[in-house]
């Protein structure tokens, strides 16, 4: 069977797949179950713990979660017994510590509950020590040099603030224990531990500021709601595209005659086959306690979005990993391939992960939600000012936190926020902030100043006075900030940890000013004045903004190697050290791991593009030349000349890529990354352009790779 025949069969498969419908679960009365009846059914959540634990054990666990108290062994033993019994009752046979290594994905090692008692009889056993800790091989995960190959010992430690849950397998269930991953000496080898540290640091600093403002609280929690964009195409196409299989994106492919130019996909009617897939995804997520709220078509054909409700940042990070895993798993059941790459298809919008972020007190107050009186609104302005100050001072770190090879194709591409970190506030808030900065309320008491600025009326801001700005990487949207620049395939843990650290630093500065003698309004004015340059409400896609940002002195890292350089600065080391989020060694490891990942991904794309050109594109071009060569006439001569010219350009670009790759220096990770970025990535783009030009000239039946028009538009 020829490759072109395989492509035609893939087209047939994509248009003839039987639909898969998920049977609706019924309650005891035979009526369809409500989501609220099944939500969290596979989660060992707080209410379930309260039912199954002795009151004193539950109280001590609550103290651990809310105050960070040490979890003592008797408490751990009691919890382990309770969760074991619940898991066994629900069909579990194994347990695993589930963690987020610096691969950006998740990892797990399954252990059976099976044990043997003193008489050698089989029993199920699960103790407090088994709950608290496990020991995977630390040398087999990225560590950025913190662990050597012979240093294998590492530990996963239970995160008691994130609920345990049951994961379904083909014929059984596993109890999943959300965990952090640490090296033998306590160094973080994962994405979770720095996030937890950043949350603790933010809580302490924000609580301190609340106390200075006359509204003490027990703790403050960073809350997150990460929207997830993704593409789905029929898997019959995906398996015929080596680039999608190994790189997650199409490294070549001519644009379809219609892309997103008619703007008819966004918020359009969800295709029935995709809707069935979404419904099954949501059913899985609801059982896992994931707050999936919104589903819709995105801008590009074949692109969709799932958005959750806010929850604690570490739980949101766990949930987002579950969302990505579930999307991938359920897509396969429906005959789809789910693509999370930031730019799987050229010429149409890429995918991001808008991380909606705020801060919530232990009493349930959102610190970025305008209040109902002058005192509450003064608190709002103080935390707003501290956030702006932190983002301005550490814009480089925030840019580094979202840097990846995939995101390089998306940021600044007139579809996503630019690679310049700026903050959008909207007209109403901007006028208020400008009033404070200008000093028009300088001599008024804080409460009167709020009234003069109109702040006493700002609860309406959430609905009426804050527009949306999709070109801003960090936009205020009523009672939260939307960090829009995070890539769709990324873990949200590191960007959120960096944001938490930056805002903590801004809060600490505000606190220091107040404790040194500034009144609150003076401290707020100082913060807003210093951070003025980072505020921008205009078109972030425009070249005028690039020039204006340069005049303002804002960092503009156009690619991943440049962006990651901000992690290598003394300012970054000082930030993470002061906030106790990352040690100098741990920060260095993040820099090394992310650069190495960049290098590997560019290498993979160079290899797969070379393979595609050599074994797919060139044979198709040769077949076209051979078919035309025996035909007489001007039309045939002209076509032959065009195809031969395209073939010559293709071979020249292929040779240039080969030369570029062979010239990769044998130097440091940074030297290799800079070379790949400046030499190999442009060579990849040039070869892609030559291949796409050839595709437009070769007869359709001689082109073997599934085309964009099929992958994006013909999916049943």
Q: Are residues 543 and 427 in the same domain?
A: yes
Backbone angles phi, psi at 335, to 5 degrees: 75, 20
Q: Final residue of a domain: which of 580, 615, 639?
A: 580
Q: Does 10 reside within a domain?
A: no
Q: How far is CA 597 from the centre of its chain?
A: 16
Tell me the pTM: 0.93
Q: Are residues 207 and 317 in the same domain?
A: no
Q: Does 414 reside within a domain?
A: yes
Expressed as residue numbers, the domain containing 676 is 596-713
Q: Are residues 538 and 421 in the same domain?
A: yes
Q: Are residues 416 and 331 in the same domain?
A: no
Q: Are residues 562 and 643 in the same domain?
A: no
Q: What pLDDT score was predicted for residue 450?
A: 55
Please name the helix (run of DSSP H) or strand (run of DSSP E) that holds residue 312, with its range, or none: strand 311-312
Q: Are residues 488 and 636 in the same domain?
A: no
Q: Are residues 559 and 638 in the same domain?
A: no
Q: Does 590 reside within a domain?
A: no
Q: Are residues 623 and 705 in the same domain?
A: yes
Angle at the Cα of 647 (from 641 to 648), degrees rounded to 5? Answer: 90
Nearest to 75 by CA among 158, 135, 183, 181: 158
From the CA atom positions of the chain, what is the Rg in Å?
A: 28
Q: Which residues 6+ apart lie within 8 Å of 440 measured at CB?
A: 452
Nearest to 455 by CA among 546, 370, 368, 562: 370
Q: What pLDDT score was predicted for residue 461?
A: 44
We report the CATH number of the domain holding residue 88 as 3.10.20.70
Residue ranges of the chain with per-residue pLDDT less than 50: 1, 457-465
Q: Final residue of a domain: which of 330, 351, 372?
A: 351
Read off the tokens for 22: 């998920």
Q: Does 133 reside within a domain?
A: yes
Q: What is the 3-state secondary structure (H, E, C) of 363-422?
A: CCCECCCCCCCHHHHHHHHHHHHHHHHHHHHCHHHHHHHCCCHHHHCCCCCCCCCCCECC
Q: Does 558 reside within a domain?
A: yes
Q: Does 14 reside within a domain?
A: no
Q: Are 404 and 487 in contact (CB under 8 A)?
A: yes
Q: Are residues 499 and 529 in the same domain?
A: yes
Number of domains in the chain: 4
Q: Are residues 627 and 569 in the same domain?
A: no
Q: Does 586 reside within a domain?
A: no
We report the CATH number of the domain holding residue 328 as 3.30.590.10
Read off the tokens for 11: 């087209």
We report the CATH number of the domain holding residue 621 as 1.20.120.1560
Count of C-beta atoms within a 10 Å radius of residue 541: 17
Q: Final residue of a domain: which of 316, 351, 386?
A: 351
Distance CA 424, CA 417 (A): 11
Helical axes 313-333 vs 192-212, angle rounded to 10°: 140
Q: Are residues 251 and 131 in the same domain?
A: no
Q: Are residues 311 and 360 in the same domain?
A: no
Q: Does 563 reside within a domain?
A: yes
Distance CA 225, CA 194 (A): 19
Q: What is the 3-state secondary structure (H, E, C) of 250-295?
A: CCCCCCCCCCCCCCCCCCCCCCHHHHHHHHHHHHHHHHCCCCEEEE
Q: What pLDDT score was predicted for residue 463?
A: 43
């Amino acid at each position: 069977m020829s490759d072109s025949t395989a492509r035609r069969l893939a087209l047939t498969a994509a248009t003839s797949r039987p639909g898969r419908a998920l049977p609706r679960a019924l309650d005891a009365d035979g009526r369809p179950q409500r989501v609220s009846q099944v939500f969290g059914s596979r989660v060992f959540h707080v209410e379930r713990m309260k039912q199954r634990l002795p009151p004193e054990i539950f109280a001590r666990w609550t103290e651990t979660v809310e105050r960070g108290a040490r979890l003592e062994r008797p408490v751990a033993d009691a919890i382990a017994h309770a969760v074991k019994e619940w898991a066994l009752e629900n069909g579990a046979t194994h347990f695993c510590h589930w963690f987020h290594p610096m691969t950006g994905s998740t990892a797990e090692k399954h252990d059976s509950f099976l044990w043997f008692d003193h008489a050698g009889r089989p029993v199920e056993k699960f103790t407090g020590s088994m709950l608290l800790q496990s020991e995977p091989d630390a040398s087999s995960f990225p560590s950025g040099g913190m662990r050597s190959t012979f240093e294998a010992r590492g530990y996963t430690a239970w995160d008691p603030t994130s609920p345990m849950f049951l994961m379904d397998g083909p014929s059984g269930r596993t109890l999943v224990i959300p965990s952090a991953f640490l090296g033998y000496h306590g160094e973080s080898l994962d994405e979770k531990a720095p996030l937890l540290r950043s949350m603790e640091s933010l809580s302490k600093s924000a609580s301190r500021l609340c106390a200075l403002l006359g509204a003490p609280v027990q703790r403050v929690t960073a809350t997150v709601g990460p929207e997830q964009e993704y593409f789905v195409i029929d898997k019959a196409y995906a398996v015929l595209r080596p680039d999608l299989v190994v790189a997650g994106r199409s490294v070549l492919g001519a644009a379809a005659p219609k892309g997103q130019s008619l703007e008819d996909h966004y918020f359009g009617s969800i295709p029935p086959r995709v809707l069935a897939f979404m419904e099954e995804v949501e059913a899985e997520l609801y059982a896992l306690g994931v707050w999936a709220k919104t589903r819709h078509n995105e801008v590009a054909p074949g692109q969709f979005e799932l958005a959750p409700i806010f929850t604690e940042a570490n739980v949101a990070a766990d949930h987002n990993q579950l969302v990505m895993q579930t999307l991938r798993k359920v897509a396969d059941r429906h005959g789809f391939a789910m693509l999370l790459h930031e730019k799987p298809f050229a010429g149409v919008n890429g995918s991001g992960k808008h991380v909606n972020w705020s801060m919530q007190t232990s009493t349930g107050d959102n610190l970025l939600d305008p209040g109902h009186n002058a005192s509450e609104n003064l608190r709002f302005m103080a935390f707003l000012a501290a956030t702006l100050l932190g983002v301005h001072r550490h814009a480089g770190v925030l840019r580094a936190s979202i840097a990846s090879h995939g995101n390089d194709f998306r940021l600044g591409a007139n579809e996503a926020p630019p690679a310049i970190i700026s903050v959008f506030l909207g007209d109403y808030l901007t006028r208020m902030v400008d009033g404070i900065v200008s000093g028009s309320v300088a001599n008024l008491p804080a409460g009167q100043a709020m009234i003069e600025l109109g702040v006493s009326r700002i609860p309406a801001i959430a609905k009426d006075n804050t527009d949306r700005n999709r070109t801003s990487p960090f936009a205020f949207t009523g009672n939260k900030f939307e960090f829009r620049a995070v890539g769709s395939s990324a873990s949200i843990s590191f960007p959120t940890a960096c944001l938490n650290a930056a805002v903590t630093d801004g809060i600490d500065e505000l606190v220091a000013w107040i404790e040194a003698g500034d009144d609150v309004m003076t401290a707020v004015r100082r913060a807003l004045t210093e951070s003025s340059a980072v505020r921008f409400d205009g078109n972030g896609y425009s070249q005028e903004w690039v020039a204006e940002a340069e005049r303002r002195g804002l960092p503009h890292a156009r690619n991943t190697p440049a962006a990651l350089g901000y992690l290598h600065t003394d300012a970054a080391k000082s930030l993470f050290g002061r906030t106790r989020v990352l040690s100098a060694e741990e920060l260095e490891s993040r820099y090394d791991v992310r650069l190495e990942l960049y290098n590997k991904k560019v290498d993979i794309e160079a290899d797969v593009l070379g393979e595609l050109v050599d074994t797919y594109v060139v044979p198709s071009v040769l077949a076209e030349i051979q078919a035309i060569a025996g035909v007489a006439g001007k039309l045939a001569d002209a076509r032959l000349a065009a195809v031969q010219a395209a073939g010559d350009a293709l071979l020249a670009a292929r040779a240039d890529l080969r030369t570029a790759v062979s010239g990769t220096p044998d130097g440091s990770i940074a030297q290799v990354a800079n070379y790949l970025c400046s030499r190999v990535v442009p060579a990849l783009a040039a070869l892609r352009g030559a291949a796409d030009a050839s595709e437009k000239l070769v007869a359709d039946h001689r082109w073997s790779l599934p085309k964009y028009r099929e992958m994006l538009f013909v999916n049943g």
